Amino acid sequence: MGEHRRTILITGASAGIGAALARVCAGRGYDLILTARREGPLQALAEDLTTRHGVSVSVITTDLAESGAPAALVAAIAARGLKVDGLVNNAGFSRTTGFLATDPADHAAMIRVMLTAPVELSRLLLPGMAARGWGRVLNVASLAGQMPATGGDTLYGPIKSFLIKASQGLWLETQGTGVHVTALCPGYTYTEFHDVNGSREQVSSAYPKWMWMDADRVARIGWDAVEANRPRVTPGAANNVLAALGGLLPDSLALKMVGGHARRLDRL
Ligand SMILES: NC(=O)c1ccc[n+]([C@@H]2O[C@H](COP(=O)([O-])OP(=O)(O)OC[C@H]3O[C@@H](n4cnc5c(N)ncnc54)[C@H](OP(=O)(O)O)[C@@H]3O)[C@@H](O)[C@H]2O)c1
């Protein structure tokens, strides 16, 4: 990209889909700003990508569950003299203990990390992208956001639905500005996600291997979609069938389907 080097900020880049997106973007010549709470894996990834692809990679640790974290992150980026041309809102986690048993602080953190942070980061960074006539915003939502509910993990699906709708609205608003906005809606993906929420054993025994995708493939599909300016992409044929069913079935049947799913995972 010569003198027009562009920089992509990726949240939740210390593991899983975020780290995979960092590998995809570095492979395509983008400079990166990687953020998450754990510094060790971010630094290791930064060194690897710099060596492998010759791109410039900055690491800034942040806890996006803290109020004001997005603004502090943007200020830290500006203080380093960096500008952000692309934003990947990827950091996320879930709690599968049911609404009543989940610590209210965990609910607040889910909302801050997966909903408030993407909104605030987008609002802070999109004006610069629009003014420069080039931008990429990739919001990592979920197949769960296309389902009528996520039983036992009550807020997760609605948060991801929000992200899909907000992405579609932004896609409309940014047409013709050079800014592309996409919601990426993965199904089951091999990452640390199910270790963090403690459901690795249940999901591994309840769902066959063909329902799972690897994070690198999901990341490639997601980045290709934002480059192509698609408002939403669901990776994998099986996930597309499930997403279509989720939208077509009447509530009674759809809730039966997701209720059965939640029971198989011991969430109801
Ligand atoms: N895996 C799946 O099956 C699946 C399916 C659909 C959608 N997704 C979505 O994909 C995205 C990435 O998840 P993943 O599957 O790659 O999971 P993962 O391997 O557990 O990675 C999650 C990332 O989010 C970061 N993160 C979590 N809490 C944070 C906080 N408070 N502040 C800053 N960063 C935080 C983690 O970094 P630190 O721990 O270092 O902070 C980590 O880098 C999430 O939005 C998830 O909802 C996953």
Please work out whether the CB of residue 191 comes within 6 Å of at least one atom of ligand 1: yes
Query: Tens digit of pLDDT for each residue in 147-200?
Result: 999 989 999 999 999 999 999 999 999 999 999 999 999 999 999 999 999 999
Which pLDDT does position 268 carry in this prediction? 87
Ligand 1 centroid, distance to 2 Cα (angstroms): 32
Ligand 1 atom at minimal distance to the Cα of residue 37: 41
- Residue 216: half-sphere exposure toward Cβ, Cα within 13 Å: 3
Residue 62 CA to residue 263 CA, distance in Å, equals 35
Domains of the chain: 2-264 (3.40.50.720)
| The pLDDT of residue 3 | 52
The finding on whether 69 has its CB within 6 A of some atom of ligand 1 is: no
Half-sphere exposure of 248 (CA within 13 A, CB side): 6
Instruction: Assess whether 30 carries a catalytic annotation.
Output: no
Q: How far is Cα 167 from Cα 158, in angstroms, rounded to an integer? A: 14
- How far apart CA 138 and CA 232 sit, in angstroms, is 9
Beta strands at 179-184 and 57-59: parallel, antiparallel or unpaired? unpaired
pLDDT the model gives residue 131: 98
Phi, psi of 7 (to 5 degrees): -120, 130
Look at the chain and count its residues.
268
Burial class (CB in 10 A: 0-12, 13-18, 19+), 88: buried
User: What confidence tens digit (pLDDT) does each residue in 230-243 have?
Assistant: 999 999 999 999 99
CB count in 10 Å sphere of residue 211: 14
Please give the chain's pLDDT, 268 residues, in tens: 445 799 999 999 999 999 999 999 999 999 999 999 999 999 999 999 999 999 999 999 999 999 999 999 999 999 999 999 999 999 999 999 999 999 999 999 999 999 999 999 999 999 999 999 999 999 999 999 999 999 899 999 999 999 999 999 999 999 999 999 999 999 999 999 999 999 999 999 888 999 999 999 999 999 999 999 999 999 999 999 999 998 899 999 999 989 998 998 888 8
- pLDDT cut 70: percent of the chain above it: 99
Q: What is the pLDDT of residue 1?
A: 46
Q: What dihedral do alpha carbons 70, 95, 34, 65 form, nearest 10°?
A: 20
